[in-house]
Amino acid sequence: MKDQVGGNQKRGRFQALCQALRPDLLRFAFWLSRDRALAEDVVQETLLRAWKAQDSLLDEAAAKPWFLTIIRREYARTFERKRFVTVDVDELIAREEPMLAAAEEQDLAELRNAMFRLPDEYREPLALQVLMGYSTAEIARELDLSNAAVLTRLFRARKQLRVLCGEDTSVDPQE
């Protein structure tokens, strides 16, 4: 009976942890997929996988990086089993879709496209810092890097991002 009560408490804590982290997980999945429905699916699958493997999470302080790793892997799995529908841009223009005229979103789309053109080694630390609010130490742990390597990658990511967005970086300080 005592084991059952302890197991119920552990499951309750894990469920509360999942609920607390769900908004961050959804935001990260949406950033990866740029599709709300797909992001919801990825988070749902992630939570299911995490629930099944909750005994492998030994330290609750490491939960967020653990979940983000599961999300990245689950998102990658979607490409193994799902073919995405493509959209004909000329057809959208012919129908005068309102989404094509959104000026504010164009800047955001330009930035997002530039981020996706960054090499993974620079994009991942930048996304973890900017979108997920990770500290340098947390990023280093998540990506298995030194703090200095993370700082270097963040510096280079920002500089490359500015170049990709058309800014002049010739007056920037050198590394």
118 DSSP 8-state letter: S
Q: Is the pLDDT of residue 94 over 80?
A: no
pLDDT for position 99: 56
Q: What percent of the chain has pLDDT over 90?
A: 13
Instruction: Compute the distance between CA of residue 154 and CA of residue 135 in angstroms, rounded to an integer.
Output: 11
- Judged by average pLDDT, the poorest of 33-47, 103-117, 125-139 is 103-117
- Check pLDDT > 80 for residue 4: no
Lowest mean per-residue pLDDT among 9-18, 94-103, 113-122, 165-174: 94-103
b/e map of 100-125 (b: 16 or more CB within 10 Å)? Answer: eeeeeeeeeeeeeebbeebeeebbbb
Cα separation of 114 and 110, whole Å? 6
Would you state the pLDDT for residue 2?
Answer: 46
Alpha-carbon distance 141 to 144, whole Å?
A: 5
Q: What percent of the chain lies above the pLDDT cut of 70?
A: 75
- Which pLDDT belongs to residue 14? 80
Helix axes 136-143, 63-81, angle to 10 degrees: 50
Closest Cα partner for 123 from 23, 31, 26, 24? 31
Q: What is the pLDDT of residue 150?
A: 92
Cα 16-47-72 angle, rounded to 5 deg: 125
Please tell me the distance from the alpha carbon of residue 175 to that of residue 168, in angstroms, as a whole number.
16
Per-residue pLDDT, averaged over 131-158, amounts to: 90
**Where does the pLDDT of residue 148 fall: very low under 50, low under 70, confident under 90, or very high at 90 and above?**
very high
Q: Which of 33, 31, 69, 76 is nearest to 53 (CA)?
A: 69
CA distance 153 to 120: 10
CA distances from 163 to 127, 154, 171 (A): 17, 14, 12
What domains sit in the chain, N to C, each tagged with a CATH number?
1-85 (1.10.1740), 101-175 (1.10.10.10)
